[in-house]
């Protein structure tokens, strides 16, 4: 009887210790089974959400190479914000937007100009000179036919287009004031500014090589439903070599998709870095 009593007492004494040990072990197991998500996992989860409105092929390209995409887009997000501003029928720059670093192109004798009053932002001049030089080494001349346009200049140009061609045609071929990429000071019209330019040696060279120097075709063939403008083989916008490579590698080489994604998702993307 005495021995049985001792055994019962020992059971009551040891039971809380066993329970505590069991609970501790269980907590350790749970913590091992549910680790905190890694940075890569967090990036994947957020990018899955941010890319929902992109075409499926572009979305798949990004999600299949999250690490490479984040490496490239981090360089682009470090650029001055105004380098990648949207200027289109849905995004107006307003009447007062004037780039601060506009320079006259006559200061650069290496450039071939259709008129001597052409100007552009200084930020793109070095890459433009590289591009012109490399084209020249292949016997090609890249004629700059239109460059920076002020709000007032674009207003006059749009109204002239309406008078000459009617509103419907003008809307497809000319931007309303405040919505032209030319007001950014980083857009260039090359050559004849006609459809035939696409079949010239210079036009074909630009289409193949301009991205290497940071220039992107703004209004590609077959995307009028997206850009609002018909195919313009002569109109290139400078977005920097880093952004042009990102566009080519992950956005189907369509400028509109890249710019809209960067401008709409900038804060969320920066939170991933």
Using N-to-C axis directions, what is the helix angle for 201-209 and 125-136, rounded to 10°? 130
Give the lowest-confidence range in 29-38, 190-199, 239-248: 29-38
pLDDT digits (tens, 9 = 90+) for 51-61: 999 999 999 99
**What is the number of structural domains in the chain?**
1
Mean pLDDT of the chain: 90
The first and second tokens of residue 78, run together, are 């470090």
Q: Report the percent of the chain where pLDDT is more than 70.
A: 86
Poorest-pLDDT segment among 5-9, 106-110, 155-159: 5-9
Q: DSSP state, 91?
A: B
CB under 8 Å to 218, separation ≥6 — which residues? 181, 187, 227, 229, 232, 235, 236, 237, 255
Structural domain of 163: 80-239
Q: Looking at the domain assignment, is residue 49 inside a domain?
A: no
CATH code of the domain containing 109: 3.30.1380.10
| C-alpha to C-alpha distance for 17 and 10, rounded to whole angstroms | 11
Mean pLDDT over 98-105 rounds to 97
pLDDT at 32: 52
Residue 35 lies in a domain: no
Q: Report phi then psi at 236, rounded to 5.
A: -125, 140
In a domain, 9, yes or no: no
Establish if 225 belongs to a structural domain. Answer: yes
- Examine residue 12 and state whether it is found in any structural domain, yes or no: no
Q: Is residue 198, in this structure, part of any structural domain at all?
A: yes
| pLDDT for the residue 42 | 84
Residue 137 φ then ψ, to 5°: -65, -20
pLDDT of 23 strictly over 70: no
Q: What is the pLDDT of residues 126-177, one digit of tens each?
A: 999 999 999 999 999 999 999 999 999 999 999 999 999 999 999 999 999 9
Residue 269 inside a domain? The answer is: no
Model pLDDT, residue 82: 93
What is the side-by-side order of every strand in the sheet holding 187-190? Answer: 112-113, 143-146, 187-190, 235-238, 215-217
Measured distance CA(145)–CA(120) in Å, rounded: 12
- β-bridge partners, 102: 121
């Amino acid at each position: 009887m005495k021995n049985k009593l001792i055994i019962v007492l020992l059971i009551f004494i040891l039971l809380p210790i066993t329970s505590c040990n069991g609970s501790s072990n269980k907590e350790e197991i749970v913590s091992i089974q549910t680790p905190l998500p890694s940075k890569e996992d967090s990036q994947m989860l957020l990018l899955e959400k941010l890319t929902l409105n992109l075409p499926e092929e572009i979305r798949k390209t990004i999600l299949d190479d999250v690490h490479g995409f984040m490496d490239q887009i981090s360089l682009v997000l470090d650029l001055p914000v105004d380098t990648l501003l949207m200027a289109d029928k849905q995004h107006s720059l307003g009447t007062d937007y004037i780039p601060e670093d506009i320079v006259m192109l006559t200061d650069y004798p290496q450039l071939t100009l259709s008129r001597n009053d052409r100007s552009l932002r200084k930020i793109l001049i070095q890459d433009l000179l590289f591009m012109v030089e490399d084209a020249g080494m292949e016997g090609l001349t890249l004629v700059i036919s239109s460059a920076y346009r002020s709000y007032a200049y674009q207003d006059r140009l749009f109204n002239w287009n309406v008078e000459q061609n009617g509103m419907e045609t003008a809307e497809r071929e000319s931007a309303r004031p405040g919505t032209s990429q030319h007001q950014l000071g980083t857009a260039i019209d090359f050559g004849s500014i006609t459809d035939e330019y696409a079949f010239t040696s210079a036009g074909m060279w630009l289409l193949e090589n301009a991205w290497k120097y940071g220039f992107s075709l703004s209004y590609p063939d077959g995307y009028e439903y997206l850009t609002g403008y018909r195919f313009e083989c002569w109109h290139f916008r400078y977005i920097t070599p880093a952004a042009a490579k990102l566009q080519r590698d992950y956005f189907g080489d369509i400028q509109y998709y890249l710019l809209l994604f960067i401008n709409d998702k900038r804060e969320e993307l920066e939170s991933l870095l």
